[in-house]
Structure 1
Amino acid sequence: MERVEIVIIRNGERQSAEFLCDTKNVTITFVMLDGYTKSYSGSDFYNCFGDVRQEHQDISFLCKGAMINVHPSSMSSQMTQGVKAYELTLGKCATRDDIVNIFDYEEKNLTNDPEVQKKFFMQWIESDIIES
């Protein structure tokens, strides 16, 4: 079980929280300072994190995986269980330099709605990709 400390904003206050990541069962257990704990299972950790965010609309998760333009490829989902994903730019081909850890700190361009991320991903696919 891997323990990941993250930063959240809840009720206007920055707080620490934890994700306990079970790689065997692909489960994230979300743990807050007040003792709240809930587990989420899925096909990969990116999807589990999406479920956590969707259920906690009142909390901002300051993580790369909450960015509107972050999405894993099929290969990164399989190889890293969704912990690594691409930070995508419309019109630009994704490269190794665009790979991020979904639990790394970020505070810009965030969403709690996985559908917003899916829509951006589809826009990126349809954008005119210029090879780097």
Structure 2
Amino acid sequence: MTTDFQIDALNIHTAQREEWHLQLTEEPTFGIKLARPNGAIWTAAGDDLFEVLKSVRLQIEPLSYLLLCNGARVDAHPSGMLRDMTGGSTLYILKMKRVPRERVFIFDRAEADTVGTVADQRDFYQAWLGAPKRWRLTDRARDAASEVWTRWRDR
């Protein structure tokens, strides 16, 4: 199956945006073909969409371009379970010292001030992993209410 996307790329030196074409293939492995309007093409393939996107991003970063999509957000990363269930197409938005709740599609548009390099994303993820996590009181209350409801319903 092949899916086409229009995706914005940002030149970090000139702050100009360009609309690029991204073609995604999902079988037998994930593949990305990224094309710039001037005809330049970058490709990558692999078992996990997040890793494939990261590979393409590493090819365009030396040219001073960042993709404006959730997969390039510094604070976005898939969990192991999301990688297994969605092939890395769904990511969590990570907040420091918080358990992740918000999920986003990897190719949905992201604002320029939220994206960064692969190294920026890796550094944020490592810092997030090392930070102690706190559940917000509302998260705990919602989970407790859900547990009570499930137990009552299933009795």
**2:10 — aligned with what?**
9
Q: CA contact under 8 A between 2:7 and 2:20: conserved in structure 1?
A: yes
Is 1:60 the counterpart of 2:57? The answer is no
CA distance in 2, matches of 1:125, 1:12: 31
In structure 2, the residue corresponding to 1:90 is in which secondary structure? Answer: coil
| Bigger share in strand | 1
The 5 Å alignment of 1:13-32 reads 13-24=16-27, 25-32=29-36
In structure 2, the residue corresponding to 1:119 is in which secondary structure? Answer: helix
The RMSD of aligned alpha carbons is: 1.5
User: Any stretches of 5+ residues in structure 2 without a counterpart?
Assistant: 140-155
Q: Which amino acid aligns with 1:129?
A: K
User: Any stretches of 5+ residues in structure 1 without a counterpart?
Assistant: none
CA distance in 1, matches of 2:21, 2:85: 23
Sequence identity percentage: 22
Residue of structure 2 aligned with 1:46, choices 47, 50, 54: 50
The 5 Å alignment of 1:42-121 reads 42-57=46-61, 58-95=64-101, 98-107=102-111, 108-113=113-118, 115-121=119-125
Asked which structure has the greater RCO (Cα within 8 Å, sep 6+), the reply is 1
Is 1:123 the counterpart of 2:130? The answer is no
Indicate the larger mover: 10-19 or 103-112.
Answer: 10-19
| Bigger share in helix | 2
Over alpha carbons, which structure has the higher Rg? 2
Q: How many residues align?
A: 129
CA shift, 1:109, in A, is: 2.5
Query: CA 1:2–1:127 in 2, change beyond 3 Å: closer, same or farther?
Result: same
Runs of 4+ in 1 over 6 A off after TM superposition: none
Q: Report the TM-score, using the length of structure 1 for normalisation.
A: 0.88
Q: Report the TM-score, using the length of structure 2 for normalisation.
A: 0.76
CA shift, 1:20, in A, is: 0.7
Q: CA contact under 8 A between 2:79 and 2:92: conserved in structure 1?
A: yes
